[in-house]
Amino acid sequence: MDISVVIPLLNEAESLPELSAWIERVMEQNNYSYEILFVDDGSTDRSWQIITELREKNKQIKAIKFRRNYGKSAALNTAFQVTKGRVIITMDADLQDSPDEIPELYKMIVEEKYDLVSGWKKKRYDPITKTIPTKFYNAVTRMMSGVKLNDMNCGLKAYSHEVVKSIEVYGDMHRYIPVIAKWAGFTNIGEKVVQHQARKYGSSKFGLSRFINGPLDLASIMFVGKFGKRPMHFFGTIGTIMFILGFCLFAYLGGYKLYALYYNLAAKNIALQSSFYIALTAMIMGVQLFLTGFLAELVSRNAPERNQYQIEQELF
């Protein structure tokens, strides 16, 4: 099979018939073998009924329905587990992503050998309250992750089959799939300017919480990707540095006190100096961080996936 089109959705009944017909038209024009996989993320409108009706007309349409709303990451991860296409295309169900972009995205994966291609909505039809935070978020993500994409969270993306079978998307991590793919060893990541269309039906399902959860998720990905299999390197290093700094300050205070007593110089009681408590706090926190790293290392070493690595090729 050439292409799997994955479409997560929540209460998008009005747009589904038009989107489905548009995708089918593109596939037939390019003679692709394909499947369309809708993932209904707990819709409360007629979305599932519409999908069922579309399925009766086109057996290439498949669908998964969640009992409740779990989020876009859960929808994508579930779909990735069952897709069969050589190339997987993800897009939103609100008609803001154009299926006409599919052939070029497909060629970039198959012919130009990209692992992942992310759409870039260079010209957007979103309010300024969304575009400005998005630009800031993308700039911070590029700086922290090293993935040079202008539109990290664009719903229109293309993946090779190997990528979607090698990554896990959870929480709200769908915003950072390119970063997850990079940490999984898929570094050939490209970008394509795509058409962005104004929402035709309904309203956006994403609120202000994404501006809080987004940075936290990015920090989590960066930490797990770099230190997931060696947490002691992170906690142990910081803990050791803090303990040494605290010990050096404590030694200085104690040494100066002994020096003052030996030469009958005036000196404050160590316990009355604020620097003494700074040194004590640093030593205690250093020990705690070191123990945290030690415990995290024990958990990591006993995890069932501790020795699972992405293998690109094998020769025996």
Assign residue 100 the CATH number of its domain.
3.90.550.10
Q: Enter the pTM of the model.
A: 0.75
pLDDT along the chain (316 residues), means of 10: 96 94 96 96 94 95 94 93 96 93 97 96 70 76 84 92 92 86 92 83 61 68 73 91 95 90 83 91 95 86 59 53
**Geometric angle at alpha carbon 73, from 178 and 99, rounded to 5°:** 70
Structure tokens of 1?
């099979």
92, 129 contact by CB (below 8 A): no
If asked whether residues 65 and 79 sit together in one domain, one would say yes
> Per the domain annotation, does 31 fall within a domain?
yes
- Cβ-count burial 15-54 (b if 16+ within 10 Å, e if not): bbeebbebbbebbeeeebebbbbbbbbbbeeebbebbeeb
- 265 and 216 belong to one structural domain: no
For position 172, what pLDDT does the model report? 78
200, 227, 254 — which closes off a domain? 227
Torsion 189-207-77-125 (CA) sign: negative
Burial class (CB in 10 A: 0-12, 13-18, 19+), 185: middle
Q: Considering 227, 247, 279, which residue would you say is the last residue of a domain?
A: 227
Domain membership flag for residue 307: no
Number of domains forming the structure of the chain: 2
Asked which of 227, 246, 271 is the last residue of a domain, the reply is 227
Tokens matching residue 106: 């497909």
